[in-house]
Amino acid sequence: MGTAQRESNGSTGRILTAFDAFRSTPSNFILALGLVLFVVGALVLRVGVWAAILGVWGCALILLGVGIRTTVWLIRRSRRITCDRSPC
């Protein structure tokens, strides 16, 4: 019984850690929101104007989230390379 409790606490901890990772940065939140909108439009509504609107908004938010994340990664990478070559 103690093992089952440890496993359930460990999995809960991982879920909370993943949830905190999405809440901690705006790009992750935007990406998750876009994914939710896309899934609702594609799988739940399937047809109609709202399905198309949610699909387009979802794709736009996914691209925006990936773009922000990529830009931040490139900026951090360029600063790391610059600091390695000369004293910061």
pLDDT tens digits for 14-26? 777 777 777 778 9
Q: Give domain status of residue 70, yes or no.
A: yes
- Count of the separate structural domains present in the chain: 1
In a domain, 7, yes or no: no
- H helix or E strand, kind and range, residue 2: helix 2-24
Domain containing 75 equals 25-85
Degrees (nearest 5) of the Cα angle 67, 69, 71?
A: 65
* 14 assigned to some structural domain: no
Q: Is residue 12 part of a domain?
A: no
CA atoms within 13 Å, Cβ hemisphere of 52:
3
- pTM over the 0.85 mark: no
pLDDT digits over 26-66, tens only?
999 999 999 999 999 999 999 999 999 999 999 999 999 99
CB contact at 8 A, 58 and 39: yes
Contacts of 7 (CB under 8 A, 6+ apart): none
